Amino acid sequence: MTKQILLDTNFILTCLKQKIDFFEYLELEGYKILIPENVILELKKLKKNSVLNFLEKEEKKFQKISLQGKNVDNSIVNFAKENPKIVIGTLDREMRKKIRNSKISIRNKKKLEII
């Protein structure tokens, strides 16, 4: 099975703000990148057009997935519980406590690390 990683909104926003090329890193590590449609909708609501444009340009590098539920964070937590092998890319403390899966962190505002 291919290694998979699911990214949430704050992870994507923080990586872009700190100029971390998460797509390149994750591809080199052999991950298939999943981004929930709920995250894309959240970015639209936040009017993060530069982020949306970036994702549009890079759309071949990730797969959009549909998650059940209205609340994005809860949907990701539930998905993580149902798919324990998937790595979760979130910087949200509350979510990190609820998720037992491996997670990806940003170290020293520059480097990604899977823990």
Domains and CATH numbers, the chain: 3-114 (3.40.50.1010)
Give me the pLDDT at residue 109, please: 85
User: Model's pTM, two decimal places?
Assistant: 0.94
Q: Are 37 and 66 in contact (CB under 8 A)?
A: yes
Give me the pLDDT at residue 108, please: 86
The DSSP secondary-structure symbol of 48 reads -
Give me the pLDDT at residue 1, please: 63
Give me the pLDDT at residue 2, please: 82
Q: What is the pLDDT along the chain (115 residues), one digit of tens a residue?
A: 689 999 999 999 999 999 999 999 999 999 999 999 999 999 999 999 999 999 999 999 999 999 998 899 999 999 999 999 999 999 999 999 999 999 998 888 888 988 8
Closest CA to 51 of 85, 75, 15: 15
Give me the pLDDT at residue 38, please: 94
